[in-house]
Amino acid sequence: MKALLVGYGKMGRAIEAALVRRGHGVAGRFGRGEICLEGKEGKEVAAESCDIAFEFTAPDSAGALVPFLLSKRIPVLSGTTGWDVASAVRFAREQNVPFLHSSNFSLGVAALRRAVTAAAAALAAFPEFEPGIAERHHSKKKDAPSGTAKTLASTLEEASGRTGVPIASLRQGGVPGEHLVFFEGDDETLELVHRARSRAIFAQGAVRAAEWMLSSGRKGPLTFDEFFTATTEASALLSRGRRTP
């Protein structure tokens, strides 16, 4: 896999390291202001030079960059949050080009969402258990609540039938990410928590999702949940096959 890194900050460098560890190459690296739309001064993107683009820039850039890359028939994996992804999803569907956007590429967070669904469904019959979310990230993260917190809130609401799940956000220091989902009862609390210790976990998940995007042959908009489900189901089938006498 030859990858184009669009956004070469901390996440871009972490993705490059993950690509190298998994035997992939980098076709190009573009930082702020180094990639321009067609017709403007700057570098042009050659679709034949890369298999996929990793887009981790900023909310005010992603809305133009992602459709531009898709228009070049370049599959895009995007992790930028705080922008309206709906138009890019429609464009990817119209162009029949793979596009995967996620607010979080942690495998642990994907598992957390499934645990949250199970807990919320199990406690839906007991209204005294009130759900809530507390999340904290590094001080430079611009959006609050985070995209992951909003996704977890949506997961809670869908599984429990509640609306308006409260979210408390904190921005401080260099915390990569922490999400706590709690169900507060009268005399007891159930907590589910995920703590990221480094950005490497997001980079590893993004690269593995990109591998799946290309190997699956699927087109149009995709989700990280689809990748996670396909991978866990394949693993379960393999495990059952090994146990078959």
Residue 36 pLDDT > 70? no
Residue 48: the pLDDT is 67
Average pLDDT over the chain, rounded to whole?
Answer: 89
Residue 8 pLDDT > 50? yes
Residue 117: the pLDDT is 96
Residue 82: the pLDDT is 86
Question: What is the pLDDT averaged over residues 47-72?
Answer: 90
Of 39-43, 87-91, 98-102, 182-186, where does mean pLDDT reach its minimum? 39-43
Residue 46 pLDDT > 80? no
Catalytic residue among 2, 141, 150, 219: 141
Residue 245 pLDDT > 80? no
Residue 29: the pLDDT is 87
> Please, are residues 201 and 106 in contact by the beta-carbon 8 Å criterion?
yes
Catalytic site residue 179? no
Summarised one tens digit per residue, pLDDT across range 144-155 is 999 899 999 999
- Tell me the pTM: 0.82
Catalytic residue among 24, 101, 137, 194: 137
| Domains in the chain, CATH or no CATH each | 2-101+200-236 (3.40.50.720), 107-196 (3.30.360.10)
Query: C-alpha distances in angstroms, 130 versus 35, 156, 186, 221?
Result: 47, 11, 9, 34
Question: What is the pLDDT averaged over residues 222-231?
Answer: 95
Residue 187 pLDDT level (bands cut at 50, 70, 90): very high
- Return the ∠ at Cα 100 (arms to 134 and 149), rounded to 5°: 5
Summarised one tens digit per residue, pLDDT across range 85-136 is 999 999 999 999 999 999 899 999 999 999 999 999 999 999 999 999 999 9
**CA 111 to centroid of chain Cα atoms:** 13
Residue 219 pLDDT level (bands cut at 50, 70, 90): very high
Catalytic site residue 2? no
